[in-house]
Amino acid sequence: MRSPSAGDAELALLHLAAIVESSDDAIVSKSLDGIIRSWNPAAERIFGYTAAEMIGESIFKLVPPELHPEEHEVLARIRAGERVAHYETTRVRKDGERITISLSVSPIRDASGELVGASAIKRDISQHRSLEGQLRQAQKMEALGQLAGGMAHDFNNILTIIDGFASFLAREIPSDSPGRGDLLGIQRASERAARLTQQLLAFSRRQATEPETFDLSQLVHETVGMLRRLLGEHIRVEVHVAAAAAYVHADRGQLSQVLLNLAVNARDAMPEGGTLSVSTYVDGDAGRVVLSVRDTGHGMDARTRARVFEPFFTTKPRGQGTGLGLAVAYGIVDRAQGRIEVESEPGAGSVFRVSLPRAKAPGVARRAPLDADVRGTETVLVVDDEPAIVELAARTLASYGYTPVPANGPGAAMIAFAERSGRIDLLLTDVVMPVMNGRDLAEHLRRDNPRLAVLYMSGYTDHVLAHVPGPGHDPLVAKPFTPYHLAAAAREALDQRRRHASPGGAPPARTP
């Protein structure tokens, strides 16, 4: 085996130089006191400085002032002959942007073994850390959403009972009765609690929605008058909408709520007055419609921006805010397959951008049912593990002409169904119940009666129903429901089942 020649050594050095030049990582050498001696192309790309600008300069040119002690410690360790491997820190680019880098520093020794400098390999991991932060934020928001949704589910059951029985009492108590005022107080408190519950559901993406296709720019025009009254005369409102139709498919009322919540947030950021700019535009390349809400307020620091969509997080004094406004906006937009982002710096205002998938032009709207349309004479099996809900739903359906068969839980429902074989037209059942869920119950009963219509009810909505195993695409009514909404949902479920069963596709005439 021959000994390496001078030519081999020169060739090895050329290979090593080529590796340094072609590396994606910044490879930098420096003296023991931090003066830069070499600067490869990747270093130019990452930090923005050319080799001519950096060779002969101190490495501290890249180090933020608050991290100078850290860099001094690294240089001291190198002078002691140590190697510093894979630690993360911050550096400043030529344009002033701060980036996160992963850094390894090794001592350089000459042929005699004497320390003569240090080599550093630096990798820009800013985007990687940003994506990790976004993932952690998404996971945190999902966990909070599950908690909020579970709380709202339980509240909805309670509110359904309170509001339902209060409605029955309201029909019986004369308007001049001394207890009438107390009853109205109960109903008003129930309505306030229901609104809070809807906010929690909106945040958790479990709120009942009625999506439709509409022009987002038109919604802005319809809402701007309310915005001006809401914000006050000290805030100027500017509106700029897309020239082309900005159609989206979402819940119109909920998107209006998003705009109002963003406007209120902007108002609170401009206590001395300012300008609120609302605009829409169509991003044709991405197939998105964007709603932008910009203010000239005091802005937010990085810590506040990171938490701004969390429920119950607020920078307002105690008693002046619930911290739900932006959390609700986040949940509504997420439910509509959209994104909401914020840009803000202290003293420079904020801009919130809501991006939604662009939709095709809408079709013809359906007529809302009248009170007479929701009545019926069919027999309805009412199932829930909460006896008060069963009683309430049964009394409601009876008041609209239906014949209810109450059942406290799936076991009682199967017994009642067997006793009335062939004489149950509709199963009204809660989705989540102990032992057997609503879908499993519907599947079991349909084995004996394939023509059975099914209507689900839940304190959650279709979001949860989609994850309950079982077949079918039966409708759902969300709790808390009004008597009319329950009757209308029952009527639609019965007619829908008949349309599917009828050869002509139309439901047969109903007995009045």
What value does the mean pLDDT take over residues 434-453? 90
d(CA 362, CA 46): 48
Which residue type, as a one-letter code, is found at position 385? D
Fold of 211-357: Heat Shock Protein 90 (3.30.565)
pLDDT at 371 over 80: no
84 by Cβ neighbours in 10 Å (0-12 / 13-18 / 19+) ranks as: middle
Q: Which of 276-280, 315-319, 415-419 has the lowest mean pLDDT?
A: 315-319
pLDDT score of 30: 93
- What does the DSSP 8-state code read for residue 432? S
pLDDT score of 261: 86
pLDDT score of 485: 85
- What does the DSSP 8-state code read for residue 58? B
pLDDT score of 4: 55
Q: Write the DSSP string, 340-391.
A: EEEEE-TTS-EEEEEEEE--PPP-PPPPPPPGGGG----EEEEEESSHHHHH
pLDDT at 193 over 70: yes
What value does the mean pLDDT take over residues 254-277? 89
**Radius of gyration of the chain, Cα coordinates, nearest whole angstrom:** 33
Tokens (6 digits) for 345: 């710096």
d(CA 478, CA 470): 19
pLDDT score of 238: 92
Q: Which of 74-78, 238-242, 500-504 has the lowest mean pLDDT?
A: 500-504
pLDDT band at 289 (very low <50, low <70, confident <90, very high): very high
112-142 pLDDT per residue, tens: 889 999 999 999 888 787 667 666 666 665 6
Q: Where are the domains of the chain?
A: 20-124, 137-204, 211-357, 371-501
pLDDT at 470 over 60: no
pLDDT score of 460: 61
d(CA 90, CA 344): 21
pLDDT score of 466: 47
Mean pLDDT of the chain: 82
59-68 pLDDT per residue, tens: 999 999 999 9
pLDDT score of 511: 43
Cβ atoms of 431 and 465 within 8 Å: the answer is yes
**Under CATH, which number does the domain 371-501 receive?**
3.40.50.2300
pLDDT at 197 over 80: no
pLDDT band at 373 (very low <50, low <70, confident <90, very high): confident
pLDDT band at 508 (very low <50, low <70, confident <90, very high): very low
pTM: 0.47
Q: Which of 180-194, 386-400, 429-443 has the lowest mean pLDDT?
A: 180-194
Q: Which of 192-201, 389-398, 502-511 has the lowest mean pLDDT?
A: 502-511
pLDDT score of 509: 47
Helix (H) / strand (E) containing 116: strand 115-124
395-412 pLDDT per residue, tens: 999 999 999 999 999 999
pLDDT score of 467: 45
Query: 455 pairs with which residues across the strands?
Result: 428
What value does the mean pLDDT take over residues 83-88? 89
Q: Which of 80-84, 131-135, 463-467 has the lowest mean pLDDT?
A: 463-467
CA dihedral over 382, 388, 393, 396, signed as positive or negative: positive
pLDDT at 512 over 90: no
- Across 448-484, b (16+ Cβ under 10 Å) vs e yields eeeebbbbbbbbbbbbbbeeeeeeeebbbbbbbbebe
pLDDT score of 87: 87
Q: How far is CA 359 from CA 178, 202, 214, 294, in A?
A: 54, 22, 8, 24
d(CA 28, CA 46): 12
Beta-carbon contacts of residue 31 (< 8 Å; ≥ 6 apart): 37, 116, 117, 118
What value does the mean pLDDT take over residues 443-467? 76
291-305 pLDDT per residue, tens: 999 999 999 988 888
pLDDT score of 188: 78
Query: 240 pairs with which residues across the strands?
Result: 279
Q: How far is CA 5 from CA 8, 62, 472, in A?
A: 5, 41, 79
pLDDT score of 310: 80
Most confident of 11-25, 258-272, 397-411: 397-411
Q: Which of 69-73, 180-184, 485-489 has the lowest mean pLDDT?
A: 180-184
Helix-helix angle 387-399:483-501, to 10 degrees: 80
d(CA 492, CA 474): 10
Neighbours of 498 (CB within 10 A): 17
- Across 274-287, b (16+ Cβ under 10 Å) vs e yields bebbbbbbbeeeee
pLDDT at 366 over 90: no
N-to-C CA span, the chain: 106
Which residue type, as a one-letter code, is found at position 403? T
- What does the DSSP 8-state code read for residue 61? G
What value does the mean pLDDT take over residues 270-290? 91
Fold of 20-124: Beta-Lactamase (3.30.450)
Q: Of 327, 356, 336, which Cα lies nearest the Cα of 261?
A: 327
Tokens (6 digits) for 483: 């008597």
Given CATH 1.10.287.130, say whether it is the number of domain 137-204.
yes
426-430 and 379-384 strand pairing:
parallel
Q: Which of 33-47, 51-65, 132-146, 389-403 has the lowest mean pLDDT?
A: 132-146
SS3 290: strand
Query: 84 pairs with which residues across the strands?
Result: 105
